[in-house]
Homo-oligomer: A and B are copies of this chain.
Amino acid sequence: MRRIMPSIVAVAALAGLVSYLGAVSSQADQEAAPIYGIKIPKGYRNWQLISVNHLAGGNLKQVRAQLGNDVAMRAFREGKLPFPDGTIIAALHWTEVSSDENNSVLASGFPGASLQSFVAGSTVNVQFMVKDSKKYAATGGWGFADFTNGKPGNEALHKTCFSCHEPAKARDYVFTRYAP
């Protein structure tokens, strides 16, 4: 094993470097969110699921999912607070759409139950919380970013993030709880 390990480490390091360079080049032409300077983290759509929810009010109806990178998932599962530096949480928001297709199946599978299915339609926006206790010391250790169609929201929008998350201070400013 002792002779194998350094080779593996070298290959892994090389792979990590290649992956890092790939991330840098693909992010290079991407606009960063104001105030916090956060770009869309590469590969976030492949992260694991923290939880799901939906939001309703007036004309607004959304289904939502929160994903976490490996650091985030470990902290959620171990109930670790505060979240360690390197934590990134992604919040994906889709327009909620009534599914006629599902409803028709539900009507025949569960007659009389009047079941209604609502599924994810078009993407509304995606938001990120990035933990860096030094860089973002003024905002609870978190940087915030909001993107619509890959473009970050403006500075006024980003000024609202932290104050909105402040009520969740006891849970390190994170609303989402892990759904097992």
Contact = CB atoms under 8 A, between A and B. Distances in A.
Interface of A: 3-4, 7-8, 10-11, 45-49, 51-58, 60, 63-65, 67, 73, 92, 94, 96, 99, 101-102, 104-106, 109-110, 113-120, 123, 160, 164, 167-168, 175, 177, 179-180
A168 B101 CA distance: 9
B49 A49 contact: yes
Given A11-B4, A180-B45, A105 B164 contact: yes
Nearest to A121: B179
For the residues of A in contact with B, the DSSP-based class is mixed
A168 B117 CA distance: 15
Nearest to A171: B101
A52 B120 contact: yes
A67 B49 contact: yes
A90 to B, nearest CB: 10
A122 to B, nearest CB: 9
